[in-house]
Amino acid sequence: MPKSELAKKKTNAATQQYLNIAEVRDNVLVLKDGSLRAALLASSVNFALKSEEEQNAIIQSYIAFLNSLDFPIQIVVQSRRLNMDKYLEGLVAKQREQTNELLRTQIAEYREYIQQLVTLGEIMSKRFYLVVPLDSKNKGGHKGFFEQLGAVISPATVIRLSNSIFQRYVVRLESRVDKVVSGLGSLGVTAVQLDTQSLIELLYSSYNPELSYSQKLPEGEQFKIDEE
């Protein structure tokens, strides 16, 4: 085998070794151990601008929300460099369409101002995610997904062959998602579950932060790892 192919094979093996995701399907992440994960994108609350009474109410609601959960959740805050290219292109289009000379000049000056801001420093945006899990092995003596099947092959393969059982676990996960969404609603936070395409884009941007800024993931791109 040529050295280049051997090096490529070693690189791919190393990547798969550290990436704990077997498959993305039906709006959930399937981990290599058969566990499922749903991801929610949540809105933010400007806590500092609230009155003291409102702040206390939010804190108490948050405590009640956490106490209502009988499963763990993970909160992820992700900072991203905001791509302003499309916004600037839109301003150029509006400038060309504008018949009023004064408005056209103002749009041009505003576009130049934004361009200078982008040049002087990176404009960052924050996104808030919640990860809702459903483990393959349950506590309390109940058999997990793969234990029910007596699986001796890879989890990803079992899921593909046993779609009906997989769908039952998805329903259980969705029940947890609904509980989290409802609890966050009491805080004034809106949460939406990411679909399959959004999950793929999130993984792509998380593992390729620099590349994703300049090169967007094509629509319908499939993220999948085949285990040998």
Name which residue leads in pLDDT, 209 or 22. 22
pTM of the model: 0.67
> What does the pLDDT look like over 178-195, one tens digit per residue?
999 999 998 889 999 999
Q: Closest Cα to residue 174, out of 37, 16, 14?
A: 37
Tokens of 84: 């302003």
Beta-carbon contacts of 43 under 8 Å, excluding residues fewer than 6 positions away, are 128, 189, 190, 191
Look at 115 and 59; give whichever has higher pLDDT: 59
Task: Give the C-alpha separation, 167 to 164, whole Å.
Answer: 5
Tell me how far CA of residue 152 lies from CA of 20, 100, 169, in angstroms: 18, 72, 19
Which residue has better confidence, 148 or 97? Answer: 97
Q: Where are the domains of the chain?
A: 19-80+129-228, 83-121
